[in-house]
Amino acid sequence: MQQLVFATNNAHKLEEVEAKLAGRIKLLSLNDIDCHDDIEEIGVTFAENASIKSKYIYNKYQVNCFGDDSGLEIDALNNEPGVYSARYAGTHGNHAANIAKVLESLGDNSNRKARFRTVISLIWEGEEYFFEGTIEGTIRKTISGNGGFGYDPIFQPNGYDTTFAEMTLEQKNNISHRAIAVEQLTEFLNSL
């Protein structure tokens, strides 16, 4: 079985991607290759940040790998938080503070259109390929659900009456931005 390094140690992301790969490729995390480096995301787009991660790992370890960058874009906030989604309120990964800042920034704004976007940069045998997934939805005024992570408790995808945080992992994996991008990635890998 071929191996592929996912340039992350985010357990939620690993779980989502592993579910999509369904045992076709052995997915390794940064911990699995003993990489504990802090890869600084200094890009201004999702594609740039994804590429920074995959190139760093490929150049250092010479392994097939991919990096991703994802975020929430809210129309009424000029597509913020965007690439700053994980650190929107200042501290990286403080989901509660990030959600609070989004809800405060939106206030009673009636335009609550938003989307989650994921861009994957795959480096396979030294060549870089990009895959992108988006899902449109709206931002709820209150938190709902205990599942998922990040902004999932306030994001309601179009066509559903629940947030990502109210869905099972399987339900979310069938429609999420990451699932769409990973599906493109797996189709590419299966075509090799």
Mean pLDDT along residues 103-119: 97
* DSSP class per residue in 38-98: ------SSHHHHHHHHHHHHHHHH---EEEEEEEEEEGGGTTEEGGGGGGTTSSTT-HHHH
Mean pLDDT of the chain: 93
Could you list the residue range(s) of the whole structural domain that residue 87 is in? 3-190
Mean pLDDT along residues 8-12: 84
Q: Quick one: pLDDT band at residue 11, thresholds 50, 70, 90?
A: confident
Catalytic residue selected from 34, 37, 38, 69: 69
Q: Quick one: pLDDT band at residue 155, thresholds 50, 70, 90?
A: very high
- CB neighbour list of residue 83: distance below 8 Å, 6 or more residues apart: 41, 43, 44, 45, 46, 49, 69, 71
Q: Give the predicted TM-score (pTM) of the model.
A: 0.91
Q: What are phi and psi of 53, to 5 degrees?
A: -65, -50
What is the pLDDT, as a whole number, of residue 117?
98
For residue 116, give the CATH number of its domain: 3.90.950.10
Instruction: Please state the domain count of the chain.
Output: 1
What is the pLDDT, as a whole number, of residue 1?
75
What is the pLDDT, as a whole number, of residue 64?
96
69 noted as active-site residue? yes
Rounded distance between C-alpha atoms, residue 61 and residue 174, angstroms: 32
Report whether 59 contacts 87 (CB < 8 A). no
Q: Quick one: pLDDT band at residue 103, thresholds 50, 70, 90?
A: very high
Of 107-111, 156-160, 168-172, the range with the lowest mean pLDDT is 168-172
What is the pLDDT, as a whole number, of residue 14?
86
CA 128 to chain centre: 19
1 burial level (CB within 10 Å; 0-12, 13-18, 19+): exposed
